[in-house]
Structure 1
Amino acid sequence: MGLVSLRSLPPSIKQYLLITANYWAFTLTDGALRMLVVLYFHQLGYSPLNIAMLFLFYEIFGVITNLIGGWLGARLGLNNTMNIGLGLQIVALAMLTVPADMLTVVYVMAAQALSGIAKDLNKMSAKSAIKTLVPADAEGKLYQWVALLTGSKNALKGVGFFLGGVLLTGLGFRGAIMLMATLLGIVWLFSLVTLKDDLGKAKNKPKFKDIFSKSQAINLLSAARMFLFGARDVWFVVALPVFLATTFGWDHWWVGGFMASWVIGYGIVQSIAPYFTGKRQGKVPSGRAAFAWASYLLLIPAAIALTLHFDFYIQVTLIAGLLLFGAVFAINSSLHSYLIVSYASSDGVPLDVGFYYMANAMGRLMGTVLSGWVFQEYGLEACLWISSSFVALAALISLKLPHKG
């Protein structure tokens, strides 16, 4: 019955489901890999800054990939860029199955570089594809589909974090990587067969110089996105898991479980973000909503930093505060994800979306490096103050976004 119902669905819905399933599978391995690397190399005695450096190429190549990936998607089709991303992730995982004595910092950085390219090819392709599947006059549906894809992806990334901690405990680093590479290989073969050819391919072949957006709205939104994600990763990537392991004495299960719960909750809120931003009144959000929600967000890391400074029930206030940060951040992120797809031009959507996610990757790169260095030198409190400052910058930039929804 379920198979018959699936076959009777409109082609656009079937492609949306296939893209979402593809994105989900990739996200599970990406989240698990990140947690495996953080916990495994912390276990080996690496400093927070050295752990952050393991992700340096992941983020740098994410910036480059988003900039060029949109151009490739517009020329080759989003089905091809999505499948290339899956294939590269399998290669990156395979690289990490070598004996432990070969896992040098440079070697792991190289594998992470491939993983960064893979992740952003996959994400750019999935987000861009939705614009091509939704009618031009259905902005409400577009927002719902983008929120659902983004939110479900992040919930699964949280499951991936938990999975990484569990697999490291149960199978060890190498066994966990081999299992993930095998399962992702099966998904890749299915994707090669089922994704529609020429999805998102531009009618007019874009030139390489077209990778830079000419839209003021997209440029402003991209700048706001960069600071928004820098604000999250400055405490989330390295500082928080290492703080939980060292200050609170949590083991892999507890650290992985908390990080997973945070991202799962974050993903669930992203999925239902339209209900917080005007859906009940039949509205879609504008730049004014992006400013308002960023303004709410900037207060949270500042409040958590104050509780750390005054040593006020640190464990309770830190965990509660970060869960609240996750919920409000999720609405901000979902708003941004809708606005970029809405602002993107109909022909060559991947170019605009790719440029925007290049800024997203730049923010993650900035946050990742600061997360290791600032935490090592000044502690988690300093990371949280920087987080609040970055959100304030994102809010100020959002003031100049178009105000009509």
Structure 2
Amino acid sequence: MLARLSPDVRQYLLITGNYWAFTLTDGALRMLVVLHFHELGYSSLQVALLFLFYEIFGVVTNLIGGWLGARIGLNRTMNIGLAMQVVALSMLLVPAAWLTVPWVMAAQALSGIAKDLNKMSAKSSIKLLVPAERQGALFRWVAALTGSKNALKGVGFFLGGALLTSIGFRAAVAAMAVALALILLMGMALLKRDLGRAKSKPKFREILSKSRAINLLSAARLFLFGARDVWFVVALPVFLAQSLGWDFWQVGGFMAAWVIGYGIVQSVAPFVIGRRPGHAPGGRSAFGWAAALAVIPAAMALLLTRPVAPQNVLIVGLAIFGVLFAINSALHSYLIVSYAAEDGVSLDVGFYYMANALGRLLGTVLSGWVFQVAGLGACLWISAILIAIAASVSTGLPERLEERFGSPHA
């Protein structure tokens, strides 16, 4: 059956399968580490610290990884990411006495680098498989890849808990390492060897984008993801547990279900936005959907001060927020691939996802600090402000196709 497909479709399926396998194990690993080290007696702060380098290294990896992909090819950066994840998993197979906080932080740092190399490579590759004039198809392909990834990440949370319960930590980690090693061998054999390699070797100083559209979109992405994580990462689960009395499985299951639903909405975003024939979404769409999203956390913050059940406010509000945020995220993911220069596409995509990682890091830090000082309501107000900034920045994004492709790095 695969032999009857076009070469580009076969490459897309290989890239997507590679990305799916990595994402599934990445979500499972996060849940395995949280649950296992909680069982070992680690405090919540120590468990949180285990993921600190995972996020920090995402900023650096996306910036350098894009440059590396343009020099050596995206097939190699994707395979390097898989290999690093196998090493990171193997580091967790040492005797329990060796699993100190610094050792596990190092393993998670390696895993964070691997994750962002894999993501940057997958997203950049699609640009090279779809003709520039087929923007509708590009939107659908990017949305399908991004949405399925996030849905699988949620499934990975459940998989991690199931594996820990059924076969234990070491066996679960070993099984995932073996599975990824097999995927790595398949990728080395079947992915195009010159995929994404720039015609001229880009210099290291070129990692900072010179495109106004990409700089604006990256800034909007930073504020958008900072707005999500400022209340979603720390404040929300702690509030659910402490203030509403939810147990660990209720919190974890709720968050995993939200991520799965978020991914499904991302996948169908091209049909939700309702593109006209021959028209691809641009700056006006990015502004409109961000402006609509900004209303939700502000409304939630107001309702939390009224005599309304907080649980109802959070469940309904988070559902609406998830739908609108998924559409915003899918739209941004399409726009960066659309705006990126075809030669050395990973330079632009890597720069953009560096901003994404920086936004997640900013949001995570703010979430813990603001929630501790002023509570969940303050986190929601900051979220609304950050989204409003993202919407404002989006007004400068180009709208017409000729504005995107006429001078990619003007």
Q: TM-score, normalising length from structure 1?
A: 0.93
> How many residues align structurally?
401
TM alignment of 1:3-402, pairs within 5 A: 5-41=1-37, 50-310=46-306, 312-402=308-398
Q: Is the 8 A contact 1:39 1:252 kept in 2?
A: no
Q: Deviations over 1:321-373 (max 9, x none)?
A: 11211110010001101111111111110101111111011111112222333
Percent identity of paired positions between Structure 1 and Structure 2: 71
Shift of the 393–45 alpha-carbon distance from structure 1 to 2, 3 Å rule, reads farther
Does the CA-based 8 Å contact 1:75-1:205 persist in structure 2?
A: yes
Which segment is superposed worse, 217-226 or 95-104?
A: 95-104
Residues 1:45 and 1:308: Cα distance change in structure 2 (over 3 Å):
farther
Distance in 2, matches of 1:194 and 1:32, equals 26
Supply the RMSD in Å over aligned alpha carbons. 2.0
- DSSP-derived class of the 2:128 partner: helix
Q: Aligned equivalents of 1:103 and 1:272: distance in 2? A: 42
Amino acid at match of 1:133: L
Which blocks of at least 5 consecutive residues in structure 1 are unaligned?
Answer: none
What is the DSSP-based 3-state SS (H/G/I as helix, E as strand, rest coil) of the residue aligned with 1:134? coil
Residue of structure 1 in register with 2:407 after alignment: none
Deviation at 1:253, TM superposition (A): 3.5
Distance of 1:47 and 1:314 partners within structure 2: 28
Q: 2: distance between equivalents of 1:17 and 1:269?
A: 21
Please identify, of 251-260 and 28-37, the stretch whose mean Cα deviation from structure 2 is larger.
251-260
Q: CA deviation at 1:7?
A: 0.7
Q: 247-256 or 292-301, which moves further after superposition?
A: 247-256
Q: Is the 8 A contact 1:55 1:368 kept in 2?
A: no
Structure 1 residues 360 and 242: CA distance shift in structure 2, 3 A:
same
Q: Is the 8 A contact 1:374 1:383 kept in 2?
A: yes
Given residue 81 of structure 2, which amino acid in structure 1 is its aligned partner?
Answer: G
> Counterpart of 2:198 in 1: which secondary structure?
coil
Letter matched to residue 387 of structure 2: V
Give the AA of the match of 1:151: G
Mark the runs of 5 or more structure 2 residues left unpaired by the alignment: 402-410
The whole-number CA distance in structure 2 between the counterparts of 1:235 and 1:167 is 29
CA deviation map 1:109-153 (0-9, x unaligned): 211111111011000100100011111211111111111111111
Aligned-residue offset at 1:278? 3.1
Letter of the structure 2 residue corresponding to residue 233 of structure 1: D
Compared CA separation, residues 124 and 296, structure 1 to 2 (3 A): same
Q: Summarize the Cα distance change of 1:92–1:239 in structure 2 as closer, same or farther, 3 Å threshold.
A: farther
Q: 1:191 to 1:252 in 2, by over 3 A?
A: farther
**Matched residue of 2:265: which SS?**
helix
Instruction: Evaluate the alpha carbon distance shift between residue 251 and residue 40 of structure 1 in structure 2; reply closer, same or farther with a 3 A threshold.
Output: farther
